[in-house]
Amino acid sequence: MKPLLTTPLLMLSLAVCTQVAMSAPAHPTKPQVKPHAKASNQTKGKTAPTSKPSGSFWHDQEGNPVADSDERKCRNNFGAQIMLTNDQNVMKNWYETPYDVAPKIIITHKTKRNHPILMPIIFANPKLDAQKRANVTCDFTIRKPNGMVNKPRELVLWSGPSLGPPNALQMGKACMGEEIEKTDPKGTYVVEAIVHDKNAKIDIPLKTTFTVDE
């Protein structure tokens, strides 16, 4: 596998809404978007919830509580979620989209050889230090179908002032990616990500999978 590291080209404004196809991720609050952004398979929201129990942190597109899962979890009102996408512009689109409009994120759990798959992390409610700065990192580990394990890699998701209003969803400034090469085995790859809120001393383990059939 060829490890890739992606950073956004532009960071104009924080978007806290997502539109997805396939396995739509939950979002942390009741929908609040412009009418033209509505879609049946779209999740959207402006701020994270005020309630702290992990089971009520995430909500579906109708505002109903959704429990934690391997791909999304909450600890002490700090929430994080991992997504997989083949869209190489996912970070650029997220940061260029106005706050009250839902950018489109196409979620996938399949990829092809020599085609990068990206693993963006979104999070909410990082603790700020005395200088009002967040410090969020993530350790990525990928397990191959043949049992081999890639050496863990650490990314700085956020270091600096938190964007948007209090409790807003944010996408990490850096994004891990992998490109499956000809010599890599086909089958199911397991992605493990541990998101660290360094200021709050909170660690959130996340896990998802993708398959390579060819």
Q: Show pLDDT as tens, one digit a residue, over the chain (214 residues).
A: 655 544 433 222 222 223 232 233 444 433 222 222 222 223 333 333 333 333 467 777 677 888 899 999 999 989 999 999 999 999 988 888 876 666 778 899 999 999 899 999 999 899 999 999 999 999 999 999 999 998 889 999 999 988 766 667 889 999 999 999 999 999 999 999 999 999 999 999 999 999 998 7
Which region, left, alpha or beta, applies to residue 152 given φ > 0 means left and ψ of -120 to 50 means alpha? Answer: beta
Helix (H) or strand (E) holding 35: none
Q: What is the pLDDT of residues 159-170, one digit of tens each?
A: 998 876 666 788
pTM over 0.85: no
Domain ranges in the chain?
2-212
CATH topology of domain 2-212: Immunoglobulin-like (2.60.40)
Instruction: Write the secondary structure of 67-123 as one string of H (helix), E (strand) and C (coil).
Output: CCCCCEEEECCEEEEECCECCCCHHHHHHHCCCCCCCEEECCCEECCCCCEEECEEE
